Amino acid sequence: MKIQSIILIGAAIGAMTLSGYQINKKDKLMNQETVQDKAVATFGAGCFWCVEAVFQRLNGVTKVESGYMGGTTKNPSYKEVCTGLTGHVEVCQITYNPQKISYEELLEVFWKTHDPTTLNRQGNDVGTQYRSVVFYHDNNQKALAEKYKAELNSAGIFNAPIVTAIEPSQTFYKAEDYHQDYFNLNGTQPYCQMVVRPKVEKFEKVFKDKLAKKNQ
């Protein structure tokens, strides 16, 4: 009886362990899928109101946050960044689903929706805070950005050499709340009408096949 009891208890423990392993394995696979569904890209391409409005409209992009990166001051304010003395760049941090849109496609949109040949300037927005930059989050992003930049320069797509910097990502400081979703909430504001809207409309024509359904 004792031997049979030990065998039965052992079998029960084994079943529990196996069951637990299967559940943990399933949870692990689910976590991997969640990670695969999310990736982050960070770009500086002039005023972040323009950059945000463009990338928000892409299919596969789940979140766009405006903020600051690349400087030395901790928790900088918009007023401080605008002085050009903190070293920060106005950037957009983009969360996207790699299964729906690739990093290469994001790079294509990035380089085709601003002028990457003007140093520290986009139109009338002048200063180091408006410089063209790709902040990469891993070596793969770095390699893809460098390759794409080299190909654009070799093909002579632009009338001047690309000055876009390719740098490792640093601490991202989210901008003040009133900067978030700016164009969608302030579309009638003069800057939005004169600068942001024309850029968005041009983007929607060029990248019509990449728009999220709600923007088509």
pLDDT in tens, 16-28: 443 443 434 444 4
Distance CA 50, CA 115 (A): 13
pLDDT value at residue 215: 61
82 is catalytic: no
Beta-carbon count within 10 A of 105 CB: 17
Distance, CA of 64 to CA of 158 (rounded, Å) = 27
pLDDT in tens, 147-170: 999 999 999 999 999 999 999 999
> What does the pLDDT look like over 96-144, one tens digit per residue?
999 999 999 999 999 999 999 999 999 999 999 999 999 999 999 999 9
- Catalytic residue from among 47, 50, 92, 192: 47
At residue 35 the predicted structure's pLDDT band, cuts being 50, 70 and 90, is: low
